[in-house]
Amino acid sequence: MPTIKMDSKILPILYRFCGQALRYPDSGWPMADLQTRFQEILTIVKADEEGQELSRFFAAEKEESILETLQIEYTRLFINSYGGVVAPLYASVYIDGILWGAFSETIRERYLRSGYSPDDTNEPPDHLATQLEFLALLHESGRPTEAEQFLAQSFRPWFSRFYQRFSAGNPHIFYRVLVELIDYLTLEEEP
């Protein structure tokens, strides 16, 4: 079976990193660090065009307006938008057509079976960032096979639909790079 390199220590860190980048960009959000890391990652994967587009964006505007642009874009892409929200970050929207559907519960059960529980009951358990954190936890606790199963059985089936909807929504370069990175890190790789 095609696998990702299980002994990598960096993988869970990347999952978590992406999860943090998926948080709403408020004033406490580590924008400068995120920018630097993304540029470095894009250099490593030789995504030169994206790298240039991203640096143009960050260079062109003041920090405050960069943050506001990202806030408006985040709201449009993931929360509510005139014209229709592009792609909510919750798995069950793609499987059940509803927030907190049966699939959210399946995901939550999956966390519990591995010994984790979401600590915020106001937020559905199947948020993309929470699932990335779960994958990280499985790796960090030496359970790469479980992580692999979760990816195949639970994550990819909805994420691929999310990815399609997201990509069709003309996303901003920052979120394009982020979601592409998540796709890259969770896609089954050919042997």
Instruction: Please tell me what DSSP assigns to residue 90.
Output: B
Give whichever of 40 and 63 is closer to another protein, judged by the CB atom. Answer: 40
Residue 154: closest CA among 174, 171, 138, 177:
138
Least gap, CB of 60 to another protein (angstroms): 18
Least gap, CB of 59 to another protein (angstroms): 20
Least gap, CB of 147 to another protein (angstroms): 14
CA atoms within 13 A on the CB side of 56: 8
Residue 74 binds another protein (CB under 8 A): yes
Which positions from 167 to 186 touch another protein by CB under 8 A, shown as an x/- string?
-------------xx-xxx-
Residues in CB range of 3: below 8 A, 6 or more apart? 148, 189
Which positions from 95 to 114 touch another protein by CB under 8 A, shown as an x/- string?
--xxxxxx-xx--xx-xxxx
Q: Cα(185)–Cα(183) distance, rounded to whole angstroms?
A: 5
